[in-house]
Structure 1
Amino acid sequence: MQLRLFHTILGLFFSILLSAKGEAAHYQVAVRQMGHHILSDFGDINSRVMPVEQEGDLFILKFEKPFSFEPLRLVDRIEETVIQAKLSEYYQVALINEATGEVVYSFEHSPDSLSNIIPCLGRDQPTAKYRLQIRFPDFQEEESAEFPLWLMAIFIVGPIVLLLMYPRKKNIEAEPLSEDSIQLGAYTYSPTKAQLSFKDQKQELTGKEGELLLRLYQDINQTVKREDLLEAVWGDEGDYVGRTLDVFISRLRKKLEEDPSVKIVNIRGVGYKLIS
């Protein structure tokens, strides 16, 4: 509940700032929010996310302290923020070890899901001091308006103060995904590999896409309510917005479109049904 409140207030700040600033601030705040999410996943809500540095269409984010990250979670966090902030869906991400200058993880995302390049999703990265670099090739900077620093401080410091006023709940570990592959018409999905196969074609699903597909599969050919899908996939994170579920459903549909017998049907006003 506390984490949801934290993200809700950050989201409000994010929305207000975007209305007052130009495209550069829009992207900078979104990238910084990615940093907050990454540290929150690591259990760090106190250390600072440094101001975003910008070099044309490249945005650079540094962190105060070392941390570890799970590539699958990292990909999800960045994609969710891009959707929420309505940024360009074409972007290239690199995590760089500050000590060695080595690119320890990188991926590329395109609006065409078949063109995504997202390697090594299952390999956790060790604790180190990293910097996040994300490039938006379609970014075009515009003139921006000034935003009061005192109001920015309220929205940044306020959520942290509120969060620290309440004890944090111990995170409940998610139930592990099944190691067995599931069959959906001509498709085969392997949760352990996060891989969807159709004949000789293979696509990687992000963590959220995989969780959503498995939840629909649990009640295949039956309607699953929207609130049940949100709870199962996003839980108490509080980092989704109204259309996030619809966006992820749309992406799953694109990845399943080769087999017309497999459909995700919208049950108006209720939820979705996976038909196979």
Structure 2
Amino acid sequence: MKLKILFCTPVVLLLFIPWLIIGKRQNQVDYAEAAKQITLRQLGHQLLLFAGDSTSRVLPIKQLSANEYQVQFENRFTFEPDSLVKIINNSMRAGKIPLNYIVNVVECAHNEVVYGFSMSQEQKTNIVPCRRRAQPEGCYYINVLFPEASLLGANNAAAYTGGFLVITLLGFSGFLFARKKTAAQPEEKKDQDEPVNIGNYQFYYDRQLLINQQLHTELTIKESKLLSLFAEAPNQLLGRKQLLKIWDDEGVIVGRSLDMFISKLRKKLQHDPSVRLVNIHGKGYRLEISQK
């Protein structure tokens, strides 16, 4: 009887603890979602005030995908890119939203991006083009894309609990099996991340790193995935649809965000003039590597 109690107690704990964790995380998700909605409405209000409009409404925030939102306005307005960037950044700081997002200003009639910028907590990777080119009055949407969420939803509770239990039991079984071994075998060294040469750069995909002599440049996961596609097909045209496939597993419609990531890669490859990311209008991009 005592053995049964001793066996059942950890199993019950394994089933109960994940539900507590998931409940707490779901509350965090709900709070973060509400904070984003309020912050986005506030930045829309500030943009209208700057444009001299204190009466028209900011329409309800539209969620385009899991991590992308759209701010819509009742009336037409005009904006200056430099002021737009400041207003959005100040609103994000006031709402305690991390400065890590991509903003695209979309013209309503043709659904075309007329201005965009990328912000990162590392200021050296920010991309803010054409700050002083004022835009004419028109109907605009403000699309804001945040990084992918990492918190679990409550609808994953059953899967999480089952997986947690299975992993724990497998780990315990492995521990018992390991104890039966008479002698430990020496661990084999893991294969090192082999670099790919891109001009004067050495590209380490797993480490998300570019090295050019003494210059070490870190890449994001998305940048590393994009550069890996180009490195596999140097001097060849890669279509936009092919490049956008790196977002397929997230179900996120990124729109023109691909162009923003290409711009970031260009900046990080600028120290070798023999390496260029070339835009083939209406088709895609090509990584050109000149012969030395």
Is TM more than 0.5 here?
A: no
Q: Which has the higher helix share?
A: 2
TM-score (norm 1): 0.43
Query: Which is higher, the Rg of structure 1 or of structure 2?
Result: 2
- TM-score (norm: length of structure 2): 0.41
